[in-house]
Amino acid sequence: MKFRMAMRVVLFLTLTGLYVADSKVVDTPSCPCVSISRNLALGATVVQSSTIYGGEAKRAVDGNMDSNWYHAACTHTGRERDPWWRVDLGQVYRVTRVNILNRGDAVTERINGAQIRIGNSPWNNELAATVESIPAGVLKTFDFQPIKGQYVTIVLRGRREYLTLCEVEVFADTSTYTCVPRNLALEATAVLSSTLNTHGAQNAVDGNRNSNLHHGSCTHTHADKDPWWRVDLGEEYKVTRVSITNRGDCCAERINGAQIRIGNSLENNGNNNELTVTVVSIPAGGTETFKFKPIKGQYVNIIIPGRNEYLHLCEVEVFAD
């Protein structure tokens, strides 16, 4: 119980922009400056080659150190050639250590021969370490010389196998401090012009970039005239950058022509605030970042003006000076 409570505290601090790292935390309203010895994988975006029995990729970065598959704490791919799992750290780090928690209740030998690969491409990155074996239910540490990369992949090459991971932790060079911009929109209060089914406004600020609408992490309005979405940052910031993740499974063109507006007014639901940029297009499932001169505001709106349209947003991230 004490361990679970500690993990909840760390996760809460991470989501609110404060990071615990060797008991040293420095924070400003928009940009926490922290030692990057924290677990970079915790709550990060993850994917894997396939999923069976409900063993989703995100189970390996949920902070739960239970190694019993039947407690719903581990990932599980299908039995396939070269199964893999990958975490996106969100930016480039000098990674020096990866911890892997092996399944503890059965078939622990399946992890034997797994490769840890790190780099800036989703595929064919540098080999950091090879797993000879990990005892049942053990969290094993793999240390190596710093390798720069945004992606950490664990892959079983050369055979047909199931890949199961109960937790993966990633750590980087702690010799310096770095300023990690905080996503101001994460879990902030959001509203929509209308909501279709359960695809509400908060889906765009849940920290999940999954671009398949049917996986429950995208917004969906009705075919409104001038549909809009708005996030309340809680106070005024000098906003300089907004990232939008577009729907990936259908209808990517619906985002074309969307406007990003920022300001302190709620007149016309905030849609009269200053226009920062107009979206030409965003590829299906893509994340596009829009940078501009600092604009002061508490509210960030995304509106599709001039037509009846559905508005889909699978994630919106907001950053400031």
- Which of 149, 179, 209 marks a domain boundary? 179
312 forms beta bridges with: none
Q: Is residue 250 part of a domain?
A: yes
Q: Is residue 293 part of a domain?
A: yes
pLDDT in tens, 302-320: 999 999 999 999 999 999 9
Q: Is residue 6 part of a domain?
A: yes
Is there a single domain that holds both residue 54 and residue 172?
yes
pLDDT in tens, 91-108: 999 999 999 999 999 999
Give the distance from CA 243 to its chain's centroid: 13
Q: Is residue 96 part of a domain?
A: yes
- Which of 179, 205, 225 marks a domain boundary? 179
Whole-number Cα distances in Å, 100 to 28, 313, 317: 33, 33, 30
Burial of 70 (0-12, 13-18, 19+ CB in 10 A): exposed
- Selection from 285, 312, 301 nearest residue 196 by Cα: 312
On the question of pLDDT at 8 being above 80, the answer is no
Q: Which amino acid belongs to residue 55?
A: G
Is there a single domain that holds both residue 34 and residue 174?
yes
Q: Is residue 184 part of a domain?
A: no
Is there a single domain that holds both residue 150 and residue 40?
yes
* Domain, as residue range, for 256: 189-320
Is there a single domain that holds both residue 72 and residue 201?
no
Q: Is residue 30 part of a domain?
A: yes
Q: Is residue 111 part of a domain?
A: yes
pLDDT in tens, 109-152: 999 999 999 999 888 899 999 999 999 999 999 999 999 999 99
Is there a single domain that holds both residue 9 and residue 143?
yes
Is there a single domain that holds both residue 196 and residue 166?
no
Is there a single domain that holds both residue 47 and residue 98?
yes
β strands within 102-134, DSSP E: 115-119, 126-130
Is there a single domain that holds both residue 175 and residue 70?
yes
Is there a single domain that holds both residue 104 and residue 231?
no
- Which of 132, 155, 179 marks a domain boundary? 179
Q: Is residue 39 part of a domain?
A: yes
β strands within 102-201, DSSP E: 115-119, 126-130, 139-155, 160-161, 167-172, 177-179, 189-192
Is there a single domain that holds both residue 193 and residue 175?
no
pLDDT in tens, 235-275: 999 999 999 999 999 999 999 999 999 999 999 999 999 99
Cα–Cα dist 302/300, whole Å: 7
**pTM of model > 0.75:** no
Is there a single domain that holds both residue 152 and residue 243?
no
- Domain holding 268: CATH number? 2.60.120.260
Is there a single domain that holds both residue 127 and residue 16?
yes
- DSSP secondary structure, 86-99, as one string: EEEEEEEEEEEEEE
Cα–Cα dist 123/181, whole Å: 26
Number of domains in the chain: 2
198 against 177, higher pLDDT: 198
Mean of pLDDT values over 156-180: 83
